[in-house]
Structure formats: C-alpha cells, structure tokens
Homo-oligomer: A and B are copies of this chain.
C-alpha cells in the first residue's frame, strides 16, 4: 500500500550525460555531438538521453553508450548528479553524468556521421551546452584519481597494448611527461601483465612488445595485500 506521502511531491525529468573517453594519436579524446534539438540546437554537447520508467540510471547510461558506440561491456562509472534549477534551459531536468572508457581501435567511424559526432582532444574542448563543461572537468578529475588507484586504464585498449602506448595514455590523462624507466619499473614490479610474443611494428622499426592485463595475476596481487598504483 502506497502512502500519499510520495505523490504529493513534484516529479522531474531525469537524464544521463556521458563523457565518453577514447585514446588515439597520443591524446585523450571525448566524443561530442551537435545537439539535434532545441534549445541550443547545433551547439556542442555530450552524448545524453533521458531515463525511462523501466530502467535504472546505470541502464540508461548503458543505453546511451551503446547507441553511440555500438560497443558492449564498456567500462563506465557515475560521476555525480547535477540538479541546478536552471541548468537546462529547456526544462527542469536532473542529469546524472557518467564517464566511459571505449576502445577507439574498433570504433566504427560511420557512427560518427550518423550522429554528427566527433572525437575531440581534451585540450581543445569547445564550449559545451548547459553545465557539460563542468561535467567533463569532474569526470577528468575522477578519471585521474581512478586510473592512479585501479587498473581500469586497460579498458582503453582491446586486450593488448604496448608499454609506450600505455605511457602515452597516462601522459595524456595527466597532461604531464612521465619518466620512461620509472614508469616501466613500476609496471614491472606489480607483475600483473603478460608479455606477449608479438610486436607492434606500426610506430617503430624495432617494434614494441604487446602486453596484456592478466586478471588472475591482479587478483593474486590484491590477495597479497598490495595495491595498484601508477
């Protein structure tokens, strides 16, 4: 039996906005689109959508992510909720931001045309609608924290990656150069990667070894009371 306590209260639109991060050309990128509807149609915007009756916030975010990337099993995390009264000039909307890490190697560029979307370097972000710039800032802060404490960075790659690429990615995320030897020493000390017997020859003549994250080794690492840190 439902009390009237609930129905006396106001209701609101609830949206999700996704900060979709991808890594290419040695730079961190975000997927943006030209907003297709009024108000502020044509302005740069994050990928978003409204939550529906039968879905959770997480499911709404997954729906949006799948629509714009066609990738399943994307790493995703909530940033926070934004609820200023006038944040959305088109109506009273509470929006919950999520950031996601996608594998850009397998991104279908025809999707970009379909949704008028574009991968933009984080150093070159345009003015976005509403409070989306703030959302990106908050997502970046959280991404930096998380990638330094947990092995989520491998979600940017499709299973295998080279150490130079991994270092480039960290440098792109933190926007600061990292010493190559110290970086590799730290990685090696954790013993959570497998060195593969194949090389990536696309970026050098010598070729860089591919590595892969080993979940079992990582679990063992955690069991020993150690903590991921980069």
| A interface with B by C-beta (< 8 Å) | 1-3, 5-7, 9-14, 37-39, 50-58, 60, 78, 80-85, 90-94, 96
Contact = CB atoms under 8 A, between A and B. Distances in A.
25 contacts: A1-B38, A1-B39, A2-B38, A3-B39, A3-B90, A6-B93, A7-B91, A9-B52, A10-B50, A10-B52, A11-B11, A11-B13, A51-B83, A51-B94, A53-B92, A56-B83, A56-B84, A57-B81, A57-B83, A57-B84, A58-B83, A60-B83, A78-B80, A81-B96, A83-B96
Contact of A78 (B11, B12, B81): B81
Number of copies: 2
A14 B56 contact: no
Given A3-B38, A38-B1, A78-B81, A57 B11 contact: no
Contacts of A5: 37-38, 90
